[in-house]
Chains A and B, each alone.
Chain A
Amino acid sequence: MAWNLTSDRPIYIQLVEKLQLDIITGSYRLGEKLPSVRDLASEAAVNPNTMQKALTELERSGLVYTQRTAGRFVTDDPALIRSIRRDLAASHIRDFIRTMRQFDMSDDEILHLIEEIMKEEIE
């Protein structure tokens, strides 16, 4: 099944996000070898050039590295994964806060509501 991509944003950015998520959530483990560009592109139903661009982007962030002959691997540095997870969570929370402020909620109201709903979820 092709990856779920929306058509209003650059594809390579969506590929970066999807791969990042797969790494953070452990679908790909620390130090695991990634499939080839062609296989990943075929799985996502995108152009190999676009997948290449996404992987280059992930290499730049250090999440993925290339070993000259052996292929491409997920980083084996857990601190890096934690920090990227934190950044991603922060960005989701920022979006959330922005929406809540549009609803005219005060910061106290937002925090209280979060606590309330978290309790409900536990029960």
Chain B
Amino acid sequence: MKELVTCKNLTKQYGSKLALNNINLSLEPGKIIGLLGPNGSGKTTLIKILNQLTFPTSGEVLIAGNPLSVTTKSLISYLPDRMYLGNWMHVSDALDFFSDFYTDFDRSRAQDMLSKLNIRLSDTIRAMSKGTKEKLQLILVMSRRAALYCLDEPIAGVDPAARDYILSTILNNYAPDAAILISTHLISDIENILDEVIFIRDGAIVLQSSVDDLRIQNGKSVDHVFREVFKC
């Protein structure tokens, strides 16, 4: 199968701190991949590099064969780990933004999902709860027809019912030939929807495996294996 993401000898240094240490990685289309690691292990740094919010110190990244560029930005739909829409915005402003920026944004799909949640176009972001903001951002991001979705901590800090909504929205909206990279440390909530997991520690990849293989080999959940590998 053709590789969607390829990282070769990828290293990122912040001053003297090594955030990513010579990472080699390949991701295939059509899969949901969990990027799992403790705080400070390099998950967000890797995702930021894929989205060109920070740049590698050395090494190479290819997205569907293209070096990082405007082209690759158009292929990736990115959910950051923080709110990035202005507080002053109305929902309709956010929709306008996405329509302007992304040619692959399916506005009617987004509006459909928003109306099911009773989020009105005239609602302002300032007045939304944390859970509603998370859902709004996710709906925007998942309404693009991208080749790769990078979701950085999509379920952190929301209640279990909102988590279920977020997970089902991810499942129902990704195209079969797209890949989803989800970073999280809330593994037990998410492991049933993952095809593959990557364990990352101190900027290095400890393990990359299919979830089923991991369960067969260990007779344990991914969550359990994670706790053993990353025992403090």
Contacts and interface: CB of A to CB of B under 8 A. Distances in A.
Contact of B172 (A7, A42, A46): A42
B32 A8 contact: no
A9 B213 CA distance: 10
A5 B220 contact: no
Nearest to B193: A47
Given A47-B32, A48-B176, A8 B168 contact: no
A85 B183 CA distance: 42
A26 interface: no
Interface residues on B, range: 20 to 34
A73 interface: no
A7 B191 contact: yes
Contact of B171 (A7, A9, A10, A41): A41
Given A47-B32, A48-B176, A7 B216 contact: no
B222 A7 contact: yes
B176 A11 contact: no
A11 B171 contact: no
Contacts of B193: 45-47
Nearest to B214: A10
Contact of A45 (B32, B167, B176, B194): B167
Contacts of B224: 7-8
Given A8-B215, A9-B215, A11-B212, A42 B220 contact: no
Nearest to B191: A7
B219 interface: yes
Given A5-B192, A47-B194, A48-B171, 18 more contacts: A7-B215, A8-B219, A9-B215, A9-B219, A10-B211, A10-B212, A10-B216, A11-B212, A41-B171, A42-B171, A42-B172, A45-B164, A45-B192, A46-B193, A47-B171, A47-B193, A47-B195, A49-B30
